[in-house]
Amino acid sequence: MRRPSFLSLPLPLQLLLLPLWLSLTSAQMLPAAAASSGPRGVPACPEACECAPGGQANCSARALPAVPKGLSLNVRALLLDHNRVCMLPPRAFQGAGALLRLDMRENGLRAVHARAFWGLVELQQLDLGSNQLEALAPGTFTRLRALRNLSLAGNRLARLEPATLGTLPLLHALSLQDNALAALGPGLLASLPALVSLRLRGNPWACDCALRPLCSWLSRHPSLPEADTLFCVSPGHLTASPMTAFTDAAFSHCGQPLTLWDLAVVSVLGPFSFLASLASCLVLGSVLTACRVYRRRRRRQAVARRPPSRPPDPKPATSPAVSQSSAAAHT
Ligand SMILES: *[C@@H]1O[C@H](CO)[C@@H](O)[C@H](O)[C@H]1NC(C)=O
Ligand SMILES: *[C@@H]1O[C@H](CO)[C@@H](O)[C@H](O)[C@H]1NC(C)=O
């Protein structure tokens, strides 16, 4: 059936119906745009990349200045290595919620927003190696709960705080080699329960008390291939001492970390002492109030026992001072 042509209508009617006609025609074009994303399994390919069935988007070495647009749920591996993506904004990989593997090596990456990886709930492998990262914000990796393999190797990181990674229950490989790390933040390794592979070479490790958690982790994982090749760089007298030589006894001069028992005592004593001080305030307050009430009652009883005072003597003989003092006794 043939619809009446829009152009055959009279001009005033055309003007009146123009918005409606435009919205109808754009709606007809939508399914065509969606169809261009290709058959299932092949990513809706970002323009600059080559995509293969199975979900690999190959955007390697294309001088890209930013994460390409047009990522979809079909992309399972995004190869973005050897490009020029120097910063990642919030939600930099919007639309690619099914990504399993992300390779961002060699991009000159300097800044990663704390929310850059939001939405990548299935990501298992993240490689940020060989970039220019000097610091990472708290929370950067905390939402990547499926992460198994993280590489930050070959950057300029001088610090890595536990809050940057958070608790990553499945992370089993962490590469930190060739950075500027002197220590790891306390508690960082403790919140990575599945970790078995840790690469640490090429960092200026300082063998002082801050290294204790790392040394004790190493002593519990003696099969680590590079463990015997890790050396202290500072302090001076310990330079070139192997890190595995530091047993727990070597740290006996460092304050013992809080044990579970200490924490329990603190957490019980804290509220208890608060309640105790509250209670003693209450007791003291009520004792003072009781004393005052008792004294007032005694005074009132004393006044009641005294004979009723006569009205002031009309005789001019009494001096005004005497009548004043008797009036004061009344009140
Ligand atoms: C990605 O594409 C580049 C250039 O086309 C090619 O040299 C490279 O081998 C590809 N990588 C993979 C893993 O397919
Ligand atoms: C982690 O992933 C990298 C590739 O990004 C791979 O070369 C390496 O073998 C993986 N490490 C482990 C322990 O799975």
pLDDT digits (tens, 9 = 90+) for 24-74: 344 333 333 333 344 454 446 888 999 999 999 999 999 999 999 989 999
Mutate to test the pocket of ligand 2, among 106, 151, 196, 223 (most ligand atoms within 8 A of CB): 151
3-state secondary structure of 57: strand
CB of 197 within 6 A of ligand 2: the answer is yes
Could you read off the pLDDT of 239-277 as tens digits, one per residue?
777 887 777 778 888 876 556 665 565 566 655 666 776
Q: Which of 45, 49, 50, 51 to mutate to test the pocket of ligand 1 (most atoms within 8 A of CB)?
A: 50
**Binning pLDDT at 50, 70 and 90, where does residue 185 land?**
confident
Mean per-residue pLDDT of the chain: 79
In whole angstroms, what is the distance from residue 244 CA to residue 253 CA?
18
Residue 150's pLDDT is what?
98
Helix or strand holding residue 212 (H, E) = helix 212-220
Closest by CA to 80, choosing from 89, 171, 69, 91, is: 69
Q: What is the mean pLDDT of residues 228-247?
A: 79
The pick from 45, 59, 60 for probing ligand 1's pocket by mutation, whose C-beta has the most ligand atoms within 8 angstroms, reads 60
Q: Where are the beta strands (DSSP E) in 30-171?
A: 50-52, 56-58, 77-79, 87-88, 101-103, 111-112, 125-127, 149-151
How many helices and strands (H and E) does the chain possess?
5, 10
Cβ atoms < 10 Å from Cβ of 116: 20
* Closest ligand 1 atom to 62 CA: 4
User: What is the layout of strands, in order, in the sheet containing 173-175?
Assistant: 50-52, 56-58, 77-79, 101-103, 125-127, 149-151, 173-175, 197-199
Which ligand 2 atom is at minimum distance from the Cα of 101?
5
Task: Say how many Å lie between the CA of residue 60 and the centre of ligand 1.
Answer: 7
Q: What DSSP string runs through 113-141?
A: -TTTTTT-TT--EEE--SS------TTTT
Tell me how far the alpha carbon of residue 197 lies from the centroid of ligand 2, in angstroms. Answer: 10
- Test site for ligand 2: of 56, 123, 125, 130, most ligand atoms within 8 A of the Cβ: 125
**Cα distances (angstroms) measured from residue 54 to each of 15, 58, 193:** 49, 12, 31
How do beta strands 77-79 and 87-88 pair?
A: unpaired
125 pocket-lining for ligand 2 (C-beta < 6 Å) = yes
Ligand closest in space to the Cα of 126 = 2
Cis ω before 320 (30° cut-off from 0):
no
Nearest CA owner, ligand 1 atom 6:
60
User: What is the mean pLDDT of the segment spanning 86-101?
Assistant: 96
Which carries the bigger pLDDT value, residue 8 or residue 83? 83
Specify the pLDDT at position 236. 74
pLDDT at 174 over 70: yes
CA 293 to chain CA centroid, Å, is: 56
φ/ψ of 142, rounded to 5, equals -65, -25
Give yes or no for a contact between 151 and 126, defined as CB atoms under 8 angstroms apart: yes
Write the single-letter amino acid at 145. Answer: R
Helix H or strand E segment including 165: helix 162-165
To the nearest 10°, the Cα dihedral for 170, 173, 174, 175? -160
50 lines ligand 1 (CB under 6 A): yes
pLDDT tens string 72-82:
999 999 999 99
- pTM for this predicted structure: 0.67
The HSE-up count of residue 320 (CA atoms within 13 Å, CB side) is 0
Ligand nearest to the CA of 150: 2
